[in-house]
Amino acid sequence: MLPSFADVRDAAARIAPHARVTPVMRSELIDARAGATVWFKCENLQRGGAFKFRGATNAVWSLSDEEAANGVVTHSSGNHGNALAMAARTRGIAAHVVVPEGAVQAKVDAIIAAGATVHRCAPTTAAREAKAAEVMAATGANLVHPYADARVMAGQGTLVAELLGQAPGIDTVLFPVGGGGLAAGCSIAAHGINPAIVLLGAEPEGADDAARSLEADARVGPFTPDTICDGLRTLIGEPNFHALRDHQVRVLRVSDSEVVAAMRLMWSELRIVVEPSSATTLAAVLRYPSVFAGRTVGAVITGGNVDLDALPW
C-alpha cells in the first residue's frame, strides 16, 4: 500500500506535462530568527494552489482507459477535491467529490469551478467514506483516496526531488502532517535520494494524532479536531503512519496562535499568502530553535487557498 522510490520517479515523469515546477524562496530575517537556512518549497504556486495536484494527476494518469471511463471519486475538505477535478479534466473524465459540511467555501467553489460534481456529507471521516462508497456504487467511478493511496503518495513525493535539486545542501525536510499522503511521499522520496536526511513533520496541537501515534508506536483512533488548520484535521492513514514510523519522522506540535503568526510573517517577508496548514512548518521552525539550529531546511508550503474575507487576523 506504500509506493517505492521507483514509483516516485515514475510519477515525476507521468505528471511532468501537467504539473508546475514550483519555486523555492528564502528570507534573511527568517533565517536569522531561526538560526538556520530555510528554503520554502512554494506549492501554494502549484496548479490549483496546492501540492495536491501532483498526487491527483499521478493517480488519474495511472488509470487504464477502461478504468478511466467511469471517472474518479474522492472525499475532500477542499484541496484534494479541487486537484482531482483539475486532473480529471486533463484527461477528459468525470470527477465526483464528497465534501463535508463546514469546508472552506473558497475551496468548495474551486472544486465546482474545476468541473466536479459535489456530494455533501456530515463532517466526520466515517460519513465521508460512506458517501464516497455510495457514489462509487452508483457511478462505477474509481476511488482516489486523498492520502491512503500509493499513487497519490508517489505524486506528492515528486516535490522533494525538485526541492533537493533546487536547493543543494538540504539536510532536513519539514512538512505538515494531516492524513499523511504528503508526509509519506516526501519521506520515501527524501530517503530514496539521501538516507541521511532528517525528516520532520509539523502538526497542530488540536489535531496531533500523528504525534500521539508515533509516541505510542500504534495508530490512535478517531478524534475530534480543534484547529484552524482545516487541511490537517484528518486522522492519519494506516499506511501513512507506517511510512512515518519506518522513516523515523519526528512530528512537532504547534499552536494555532503560532500558526497565525507564521502566516503573517510569510506575508510580510515572502509576500505570499498561505493556508494555516502550510504555516505549520514555519511555526515549528520558530517554536523549536534547538531542533533546527545550524541546519539547512527544506520546508514545504503546501497551499495558498484561503478565503481573503476571513483571514484569521
At 192 the pLDDT is 98
Taking CB atoms within 8 Å and a gap of at least 24, the contacts of 109-115 are: 110/48, 110/49, 110/78, 110/82, 110/305, 111/76, 111/78, 111/81, 111/82, 111/85, 114/48, 114/82, 114/85, 114/86, 114/89, 115/85, 115/88, 115/89
Reported as type and span, the H/E element at residue 151 is helix 150-166
> Average pLDDT of 68-93?
94
At 148 the pLDDT is 92
Contact call for residues 129 and 58 (beta carbons, < 8 A): no
Joined together, the cell numbers standing for residue 135 give 457514489
Residue 32 in 3-state DSSP? helix
Instruction: Specify the pairing of strand 142-143 against strand 172-176.
Output: unpaired
Per-residue confidence band for 39, with pLDDT thresholds at 50, 70 and 90: very high
At 284 the pLDDT is 98
At 123 the pLDDT is 83
Cα R_g (the chain), whole angstroms = 18
Q: For residues 118 and 140, give the distance between their C-alpha atoms in angstroms, rounded to a whole number.
A: 16
Q: For residues 253 and 50, give the distance between their C-alpha atoms in angstroms, rounded to a whole number.
A: 22
Positive or negative: CA dihedral 182, 185, 188, 194: negative
> Average pLDDT of 177-181?
95
Contact call for residues 203 and 280 (beta carbons, < 8 A): yes
pLDDT at residue 102 is higher than 90: no
At 306 the pLDDT is 85
Least confident of 109-113, 189-193, 266-270: 109-113
Per-residue confidence band for 172, with pLDDT thresholds at 50, 70 and 90: very high
pLDDT at residue 168 is higher than 80: yes
pLDDT at residue 94 is higher than 90: yes
Q: What percent of the chain has pLDDT over 70?
A: 100
Q: For residues 84 and 21, give the distance between their C-alpha atoms in angstroms, rounded to a whole number.
A: 18
At 202 the pLDDT is 98
User: Would you mind telling me the total number of residues written for the chain in this entry?
Assistant: 313
Task: Return the axis-axis angle of helices 52-62 and 150-166, rounded to nearest 10°.
Answer: 130
Reported as type and span, the H/E element at residue 181 is helix 181-193
pLDDT in tens, 105-138: 888 998 999 999 999 999 887 898 999 999 999 9
When the pLDDT of each residue in the chain is averaged and rounded to a whole number, the result is 95
At 71 the pLDDT is 97
Least confident of 154-158, 187-191, 226-230: 226-230
Per-residue confidence band for 221, with pLDDT thresholds at 50, 70 and 90: confident
313 vs 260: which has the higher pLDDT: 260
Q: For residues 273 and 185, give the distance between their C-alpha atoms in angstroms, rounded to a whole number.
A: 24
Residue from 264, 281, 285, 260 nearest 273 by CA: 264
Q: What percent of the chain has pLDDT over 90?
A: 87
Domains of the chain, earliest start first: 5-51+149-301 (3.40.50.1100), 53-143 (3.40.50.1100)
